[in-house]
A = this chain, B = another copy of it.
Amino acid sequence: MVNITAPLRIGYVLFPAFTAMDVFGPLQVLNLVSITHNMTLSLLSTDLEPVSVDRTIVDGVSGGMLGSSASPDFTQFVLPTHTFSDAPELDVVFVPGGAGARNINGTQPHVDWLRRRLAMDDDPHQQQQQQQLKYVMSVCTGASLVARTGRIAGRNATTNKAAFTWVRSVEHAEDVNWIARARWVVDGNLWTSSGVSAGTDMTLGWVEHMYGRNESERVRVMMEWNALNRTDDPFAGYYGLT
């Protein structure tokens, strides 16, 4: 259990066509933790316009889009609470995945912002001016945005099993040590989960790390969540990854 002396400030990166449960599974955990522990939960985007939820999937091998996009009349939108430029100081950043992660140009502002936050780790001058980011958490193909910052070379990480090959193909991803069989991977302050539902298991694991097993179990039973542990990964085999 980590000794916490101040409220934790947690931000979620939103981009168009993010996968809803990559955000709202982990956030469900933290919404419940925030009842008993002092934390702020912010949703961050380039501006305050509503951000769309994905209803398309993308072929893991070719990167081709499958299925039809939703009609604009039926698109689901979530409101950011802050922009990147007016974001509060943050201790923890969550990065979801989704069809929109394949939009390299569209997510470049998000990657650039992440790179600046991650760069603080190595810049003692900046650390004096800004709070250091304590944890970077990615869910599903959100790992591709973190990899694209070029700041996690040599680190262990995992990602969505159906999209594993694609994530390994993005810029700078060849420098990352991708772990195929893992519900989630912890390497220092970098926590990365497998696809969609795995983000919620990782978040419960992180709550245990931060606040202890009693708190993670309190939240898990409140959510009636059927948990998998860090090394439980039935999906790597399903997708032929070893």
A residues within 8 Å of B by Cβ?
19-21, 23-25, 27-28, 31-32, 34-36, 40-43, 50, 53-57, 66-68, 70-71, 73-79, 81, 160-162, 194-198, 201, 221-228, 234-235, 238-239
Q: Residues of B contacting A21 with CB < 8 Å?
A: 21, 24-25, 28, 223
Of the residues B25, B74, B195, contact of A81 by C-beta under 8 Å: B74
Q: Which residue of B lies closest to A71 (CB)?
A: B40
Assess A161 versus B224: contact at CB under 8 Å? Given A20-B27, A35-B56, A35-B66.
Answer: yes
Nearest CB in chain B: distance from A195 CB, A? 4
Nearest CB in chain B: distance from A92 CB, A? 14
Q: Residues of B contacting A228 with CB < 8 Å?
A: 226
A28 touches B19 (CB 8 A): yes
B24 touches A74 (CB 8 A): no
B34 touches A55 (CB 8 A): yes
B197 touches A221 (CB 8 A): no
Q: Once the chains are docked, how many angstroms separate the CA of A36 from the CA of B68?
A: 8
Of the residues B43, B50, B74, contact of A41 by C-beta under 8 Å: B74
Copies of this chain: 2
Q: Contacts A79-B79, A160-B224, A221-B239 given; 8 further ones with Cβ under 8 A?
A: A35-B55, A42-B74, A76-B78, A78-B78, A78-B79, A196-B225, A197-B225, A226-B228
Q: Once the chains are docked, how many angstroms separate the CA of A195 from the CA of B28?
A: 12
A76 touches B27 (CB 8 A): yes
Of the residues B50, B57, B71, contact of A32 by C-beta under 8 Å: B57
Q: Once the chains are docked, how many angstroms separate the CA of A25 from the CA of B25?
A: 8
A162 touches B76 (CB 8 A): no
Nearest CB in chain B: distance from A81 CB, A? 6
Q: Residues of B contacting A194 with CB < 8 Å?
A: 224
The 8 A-B pairs with the shortest beta carbon distances in the complex, nearest first, are: A35-B67, A24-B24, A21-B28, A77-B79, A195-B224, A20-B24, A196-B223, A31-B55
Q: Residues of B contacting A77 with CB < 8 Å?
A: 78-79
A34 touches B78 (CB 8 A): no
Q: Residues of B contacting A67 with CB < 8 Å?
A: 34-36
Q: Residues of B contacting A161 with CB < 8 Å?
A: 224
A226 touches B224 (CB 8 A): no
Q: Residues of B contacting A32 with CB < 8 Å?
A: 57
